[in-house]
Amino acid sequence: MRRRGVWRRRLGRAAATLAIGGLIGFLVPTITQDLTPKPETQSRTAESPVARQFITAYVADDQSTLDLLGVSAAVKAKSARVKAEYVKVDPPVHLGSWVVGQGLSLHAYSSHVVDNSGADGQLAWRVATQAGRVELIDPPPSVQTP
């Protein structure tokens, strides 16, 4: 009887060891997979010709091109304000484009500017395009540091 108890205990320990080993063999790869960096969820895309046409017309205050693109009056007024506030506005540089949703792409642009007082600065814009329509996304207000 005593011998049967010893073997039962040994078999129980072996089964427990195999169960714990299997559990660890499953958990360790799963946890490491969860903790590894994932690739970008948003895919990059090429620059949209409509977005380029819009940002070029916006910076140059080309009201006729903005009319052809169907831009709102508020965006046209902002374009006129940019032209009035800055003496020199360099051509916008394309920073990148991303597919955000179904048919919606986001384009980032930046431009070097010189204001009326002669101070250098930089402006940034985000342009959203979808099915040939274009929309300007206002940048957040700049932070002034002393």
Strand partners, 88: 114
- Structural domains counted in the chain: 2
The Cβ of residue 57 has, within 10 Å, a number of other Cβ atoms equal to: 21
- Regions of the chain where pLDDT drops below 70: 1-2, 39-43, 139-146
- Give the per-residue pLDDT at 57: 93
121 neighbors 111 (Cβ within 8 angstroms): no
**Pairwise CA distance, residues 62 & 49, whole Å:** 16
Residues 60 and 73 in one domain: yes
**Under DSSP, is residue 145 helix (H, G, I), strand (E, B) or coil?**
coil
Q: Tell me: do 31 and 50 sit in the same domain.
A: no
Which pLDDT does position 103 carry in this prediction?
82
Phi, psi dihedral angles at 48 (to 5 degrees): -80, 135
**Is 20 inside a domain boundary?**
yes
Q: Nearest to residue 43, comparing CAs of 93, 104, 130?
A: 104
Q: Do 67 and 129 fall into the same domain?
A: yes
Q: Establish if 127 belongs to a structural domain.
A: yes
pLDDT score recorded for residue 145: 41
| CA distance linking residue 78 with residue 106, whole number of Å | 20
Residues 49, 79, single domain; the answer is yes
Both 60 and 128 in one domain: the answer is yes
Assigned token pair, 44: 């990059």
Count Cα neighbours of 52 within 13 Å in the Cβ-side half-sphere: 9
Residue 100 and residue 48 in one domain? yes
Q: What's this model's pTM, rounded to 2 decimal places?
A: 0.66
Residue 47 and residue 23 in one domain: no
Query: What pLDDT was estimated at residue 41?
Result: 59
